[in-house]
Structure 1
Amino acid sequence: MEIGEHLGIISLLPATIAIILAFKTKNAIFSLAVACFVGVLVSGEGLLGFPNLLKVSLGTTSFSWIMLLELFIGILIAFFQRTGAIQGFTKIVEDKKLSRVGIQLVAWFMGMFVYFSDYFSPLFVGATMRGLSDKAKISRERLAYIGDSTSAPVSVLVPITGWAVFIAGLLIGMGPIEDASDAMGVFVKAIPFNFYALLAVLFVGLTSLKIIPEFGPMKKAEERALNEGKVLADGAEPLLGEELTDTPPYENFKINVFLTFILPVLIVITVAVGTYITLKSAKTMEAFLTASVVLGIIMRIKGIPFNDIMKTAMAGMKGVLPAIIILALSYSINSLSKSMGTANYIISITQNWLVPNLLPLLTFLIAAIIAFSTGTSWGTFAIVMPLSVPLAFSFSGNEITALVLATIAAVAGGGVFGDHCSPLSDTTVLASTGAASDHMDHVRTQIPYALTVAAVASVLYLVIGFVAA
């Protein structure tokens, strides 16, 4: 399909079906599969369209990368369980005698610390804090929310991440932005205008400190956990296999938190950040592979039999299989939405409204709708940035003004909104995986918070539009 082409309102059907069914049935896999099947039928692909869609969507480097990343993360978490590393880390934190609020703040800070990867952050926070949060009677939904809100929203605010490089790359050639250096400078100037991302991160701290009280489904989840001791709702299906939640430590294995937990985490951080600095691309998947291999060697040296290590690794792979299946179907939905021109249709019915005063607000809303419908933030950036930013420059006389910076930030924030809370988003899936939360329970409890932040951001963009235009 050519740029700008679309199938009209039909192009919204797959994503709409997936989202409605997901909330109705609470089964993301079933909902995504039905949406894919209906989508290929209405687009005229016939009965063979479904398997062809899977082949095209999953036979890509990007899906292979995230699948391998998931597998290596699963192995590493299984190794953490088998060596007692997480239990050891939990005991260290327990000795600090932190309150329920304190534990949530630790999780919040940990998520922001691992800013370099929106994939690693929610998994790291969930896996390391889950045992501690369970003991403190913090709901899994709450833990997933903390992990999710400190992943993409943080990554898009830091200039030394792949997110910043990607957004800056899209800006080159627009207005007076001539090269990568100019583009990164503009990205940095736009950070204070990225209201959604800034407020999403802040909102976690404010609700953790009870400055803003819990509300909506999250309040009910927290009351259930605190009063009934149920960190999961009745009938919930955690998006993490029992292999990664019930794996006992190896018998008589002496726990060494530094060797079996801190060192592998440092390896992940060093490799990811180091490759970003030297190669301009964070090799996150390779970082987890390296950490898994090193920890496997340490386990063997410390006396765990080779066969047990391999069995643990296979259990880790099996444990992340539910998340991989959802990611596979989400990638298929994204591919289907792209081929049907979903984003093009949304833009076609809104672009006539893009006047100077409303430009930041409408840009944010358009990006948010596209990202939520497709589950992809980077794809949203690539679609909306070339449309809205040149328009902002035309209104500003080709000068880098507050209107231009707010419009750039609105694209970034709107894209993060979808990535942050769409049931189709990979980071939303990973947050559910890390916290071992039911995926749709995580989405359902998080959306009111995300919408609240989005509403405040919308008001700020409206004000900026009238002040700066």
Structure 2
Amino acid sequence: METMGFISVIPAIIAIVLSFATKNTVVALAIACIAGTLLAGQGPMGFPTLLKESLGTTSFAWVMLLNTFIGILVAYFQKTGAIQGFSQKVHERNLSRRGAQLMAWVLGMFIYFSDSFSPLFVGSVMRSITDKAKVSREKLAYIADSTSAPVSVLMPITGWAAYLMGLAVGVGCITTDKEASALFLKAIPFNFYPIFAVAFVGLLASGIVKDFGPMKKAEKRAMEEGKVLRDGANPLIGKELTEMEAYEGIKPRVFLNFIMPVLMIVSIALGTYIALSSAKTMEAFLFVIIFMTVSMLIQGIPFKEVMNTMTDGVKGAIPAVMLLALAYSVNALSSQMGTAGYIINLTEGFLKPHLLPAIIFLVSAVMAFATGSSWGTFAICMPIALPLAFSFTGNTLTTLVIASFAAVAGGGVFGDHCSPLSDTTVLSSTGAAADHIDHVKTQLPYALVCGGLALVAYLIVGYVFV
């Protein structure tokens, strides 16, 4: 696997260190891209070329459009008074801090079909509710983040499942889609990190486990001072969305303008997945935006006001799109420089049967953290991990193979969950309107606890079942 050695990890190191040091992730990522292209010998024109090549991809276009569509939809929800109406109904129940957090947890698990939509939706819907309950934005971002990718990777009817199954077909004794599907289902109980991550949110939200580390400080500030954001924080969302008021005189219709559009999105995404084996999430959002545009006009909102609302939705999504653009550029640069290959080369000598699941989990986690891409990690690690596992089992599907498959999935989610470069981490900060680095700092100790428990679990599996 061709790699530039240690030089290949420098851009990721620069991005992560500067993100925490400057608290400005956009600047940190831009500097990392410029330094990386120079180290790669691409010269002064390397950075604009990198932007052109990494952003002109179907992958980036998809996440950019999805983020933009969600921005428009949130703007529509607010202009019609739908979110305000929904929040008011919840406010009337006088939810406690515990109740608000548990509601966000359950809502995040319900919207499991898209790890991109889930954190944006949960954050946008729950923000005013958790603000009133004096729950910090950092805590809301953590809940939204921990119920997006971790839930998606556990469910057999998501794009994550289809992708992981596809990577397993043709390896060892896995020759058909049906056998790959069976492998995924058997691996769910061994996918320790996402299971622990989702359960840990519930334990924290219910108060069974008390907050600790930076999150404890953020929650204390919110409870005692009423500040859901720290002084000087930079929420990762445009003011167009956080300060938008409902159109004067419109009657809040929570079902028509909020619940029904959400059910339409869920139905279209799941329906297309069942019928076409591919959830058409972006198409679902586009359809609902058209539906709501027409609905708002019928409800009496002037055409100009509807178009201005749409524009404000796009503007509100720009901060996250800028950050995603640079994160994708760093990921593309890491791929060009062979970052993943370097990490794999460092660990190949330690891959022994009893340690295999644990080491695969660690390698996948480090790779996903450094690149900010769990799917990229899956694509690189799965073709290495599964053949290695099968080589130790004589091409037989055993617990070692199943655990190794799960370790790639869980490790990728763990690293992605911790990384400030990850799109789901960015989208969670966006949905909660939280400072991105504050979200990363407060979430990291919780993710590390779950990651540590998962690592111990893989060691136990390796020594007991292998």
Q: Under TM normalisation by the shorter chain, which class is it?
A: over 0.9
Aligned to 2:28: 31
Query: Deviation digits for residues 286-314 of structure 1, max 9, x if unmatched?
Result: 11111111111111111110000000110
Counterparts of 1:196 and 1:211, CA distance in 2: 19
Aligned to 2:329: 332
Aligned to 1:61: 58
Q: CA deviation at 1:98?
A: 2.1
Aligned to 1:91: 88
- Mapping of 1:278-357 within 5 angstroms? 278-357=275-354
Structure 2 residue 455 is matched with structure 1 residue 463: no
Counterparts of 2:359 and 2:3, CA distance in 1: 21
Q: CA deviation at 1:339?
A: 0.2
Report SS of the residue matched to 1:357.
Answer: coil
Report SS of the residue matched to 2:328.
Answer: helix
Q: CA deviation at 1:467?
A: 1.1
Aligned to 1:414: 411
Counterparts of 1:59 and 1:382, CA distance in 2: 20
Counterparts of 2:205 and 2:58, CA distance in 1: 39
Structure 2 residue 370 is matched with structure 1 residue 373: yes
- Mapping of 1:11-22 within 5 angstroms? 11-22=8-19
Counterparts of 1:180 and 1:372, CA distance in 2: 29
Q: CA deviation at 1:398?
A: 1.7
The answer to whether the 8 Å contact 2:95/2:133 transfers is no
- Mapping of 1:47-446 within 5 angstroms? 47-446=44-443
Structure 1 length-normalised TM = 0.98
Counterparts of 1:127 and 1:285, CA distance in 2: 18
Counterparts of 1:378 and 1:348, CA distance in 2: 20
* Equivalenced residues, count: 466
Q: CA deviation at 1:92?
A: 1.4
Counterparts of 2:363 and 2:448, CA distance in 1: 14
Counterparts of 2:404 and 2:64, CA distance in 1: 34
Q: CA deviation at 1:70?
A: 1.0
Counterparts of 1:388 and 1:254, CA distance in 2: 56
Report SS of the residue matched to 1:310.
Answer: helix
Counterparts of 1:123 and 1:244, CA distance in 2: 12
Counterparts of 1:92 and 1:401, CA distance in 2: 51
Q: CA deviation at 1:285?
A: 1.1
Write the letter of the residue equivalent to 2:24: N
Write the letter of the residue equivalent to 1:174: V
Report SS of the residue matched to 1:86.
Answer: helix
Q: CA deviation at 1:434?
A: 0.4
Counterparts of 1:329 and 1:72, CA distance in 2: 20
The answer to whether the 8 Å contact 2:172/2:395 transfers is yes
The answer to whether the 8 Å contact 2:74/2:124 transfers is yes
Unaligned runs of 5+ in 1: none
Counterparts of 2:198 and 2:392, CA distance in 1: 31
Q: CA deviation at 1:397?
A: 2.1
Structure 2 length-normalised TM = 0.99
RMSD: 0.7
Write the letter of the residue equivalent to 2:209: I
Counterparts of 1:95 and 1:428, CA distance in 2: 31
Q: CA deviation at 1:460?
A: 0.7
Write the letter of the residue equivalent to 2:440: V
Report SS of the residue matched to 1:350.
Answer: helix
Query: Deviation digits for residues 346-387 of structure 1, max 9, x if unmatched?
Result: 000111100011101100000000000000011101111111
Counterparts of 1:10 and 1:173, CA distance in 2: 34
Q: CA deviation at 1:419?
A: 2.0
Report SS of the residue matched to 1:118.
Answer: coil
Report SS of the residue matched to 2:420.
Answer: coil
Q: CA deviation at 1:148?
A: 0.3
Report SS of the residue matched to 1:443.
Answer: helix
Q: CA deviation at 1:95?
A: 2.3
Seq. identity, %: 61
